[in-house]
């Protein structure tokens, strides 16, 4: 089973055809993908900005965390599910897109970021109420860079054709 | 008159700068996304709080006061980058129904945010009116983003 045959199978699957050629589904799923950035990307920013001491500094980190965390989780699920559906709709084009692979690399790095920082920073927000550790600031900075990179590389996918290759 | 202004925008120095290299437009657009993530995210968190969703020790008024600066900064980034993108194809956007609809919703959303919404947020205990304002705010901003996405498909 070659990669090309897998891509062909996905591209020809009923779900892929329905999203790609159904008219409304593609922009609606794309819109939800974008909306989840608007609804929940802000919460991620808020937590990271708090860790960097730039927003809501008069409030304890654990309070901000308790407020934003459930919404961040919902947002993550929505953005990943809609992103998966958009990918499923156009596997061949995306497989050939350098921007898409940059985006997937950054997405994998988000996983690495969670492995490194989740238990030591995000899982114990009460500890950060006493003082924000340099490690927490590093985690917040990297998180902001990763997520902006994800937005940028995602946006660049639509512009692939305008670049000389 | 309007058409002349739109043509002038298309030929403006910043419009040319936006077209100077392929990466400029998507980069500006990414800042546009980051801008509305900050503004709409901070607005949504206040609205969710008014509606009583999620646990939080903050009152809506406290939240809104703490986040006010970030909400406005996000709106400013969104408007500046949006204007830059609009300038590159002002005539085309003007003729796009999704864009026209988006501008109407955006104007309403911004006016609403700084007037009625602000009053609703200030209420000590959110009543029916405050909750309606929160729903209206979420619907308006959602429509702005969704119609923005539709611009590319019309």
pLDDT in tens, B4-52: 999 999 999 999 999 888 889 999 999 999 999 999 999 998 999 899 8
Task: Name the domain count of chain B.
Answer: 1
Chain A residues in contact with B149 (beta carbon < 8 A): 27, 30-31, 34
Task: Name the domain count of chain A.
Answer: 1
pLDDT in tens, B56-101: 778 888 888 888 999 999 999 999 999 999 999 999 999 999 999 9
Q: Answer yes or no: do A41 and B37 touch at CB < 8 A.
A: yes
* Residue linked to tokens 């959303």: B109
* Residue linked to tokens 């730039």: A54
Chain B residues in contact with A43 (beta carbon < 8 A): 41, 45
Chain A residues in contact with B142 (beta carbon < 8 A): 35, 38
**Chain A residues 52-91 with a CB less than 8 Å from chain B:** 55-56, 58-59, 63, 66-68, 70-71
Segments forming the whole domain that contains residue B109: 2-153
Q: What is the ipTM, given to two decimal places? A: 0.84
Distance of alpha carbon A17 from alpha carbon A151, whole angstroms:
26
Task: Tell me how close the Cα of B144 comes to any Cα of chain A, in angstroms.
Answer: 10
Terminal-residue alpha carbon distance, chain B: 25
Chain B residues in contact with A152 (beta carbon < 8 A): 26-27, 30
pTM: 0.89
Which residue, A35, A161, A158, is CA-closest to B153? A158
Segments forming the whole domain that contains residue A17: 3-162
In chain B, the residue whose alpha carbon lies closest to the alpha carbon of A36 is B37
In this prediction, residue B120 has a pLDDT band, given cuts at 50, 70 and 90, of confident
The per-residue DSSP string of B119-139 comes to HHHH-SS--HHHHHHHHHHHH
Q: Answer yes or no: do B26 and A34 touch at CB < 8 A.
A: no
* Six-digit token string for B19: 């077209």
């Amino acid at each position: 089973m070659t990669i090309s045959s897998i891509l062909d199978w996905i591209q020809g699957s009923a779900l892929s055809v329905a999203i790609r050629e159904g008219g409304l589904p593609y922009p609606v799923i794309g819109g939800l993908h974008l909306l989840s950035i608007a609804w929940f990307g802000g919460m991620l920013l808020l937590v990271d900005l708090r860790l960097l001491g730039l927003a809501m500094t008069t409030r304890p980190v654990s309070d901000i965390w308790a407020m934003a965390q459930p919404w961040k989780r919902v947002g993550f699920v929505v953005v990943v599910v809609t992103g998966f559906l958009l990918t499923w709709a156009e596997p061949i084009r995306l497989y050939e897109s350098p921007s898409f692979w940059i985006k997937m690399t950054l997405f994998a790095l988000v996983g690495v970021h969670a492995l490194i920082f989740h238990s030591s920073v995000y899982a114990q927000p009460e500890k950060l109420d006493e003082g924000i550790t340099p490690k927490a600031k590093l985690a917040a900075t990297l998180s902001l860079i990763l997520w902006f990179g994800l937005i940028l590389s995602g946006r660049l996918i639509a512009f692939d054709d305008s670049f000389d290759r | 008159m309007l058409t002349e202004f739109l043509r002038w925008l298309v030929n403006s120095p910043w419009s040319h700068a936006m077209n100077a290299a392929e990466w400029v437009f998507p980069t500006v657009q990414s800042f546009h996304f980051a801008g509305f993530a900050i503004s709409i995210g901070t607005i949504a968190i206040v609205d969710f709080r008014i509606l009583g969703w999620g646990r939080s020790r903050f009152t809506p008024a406290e939240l809104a006061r703490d986040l006010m600066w970030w909400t406005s900064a996000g709106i400013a980034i969104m408007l500046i980058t949006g204007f830059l993108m609009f300038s590159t194809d002002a005539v085309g956007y003007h003729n796009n129904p999704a864009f026209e609809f988006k501008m109407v919703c955006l104007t309403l959303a911004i006016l609403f945010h700084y007037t009625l919404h602000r009053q609703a947020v200030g209420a000590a205990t959110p009543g029916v009116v405050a909750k309606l304002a929160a729903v209206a705010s979420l619907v308006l901003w959602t429509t702005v983003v969704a119609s923005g996405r539709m611009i590319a498909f019309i």
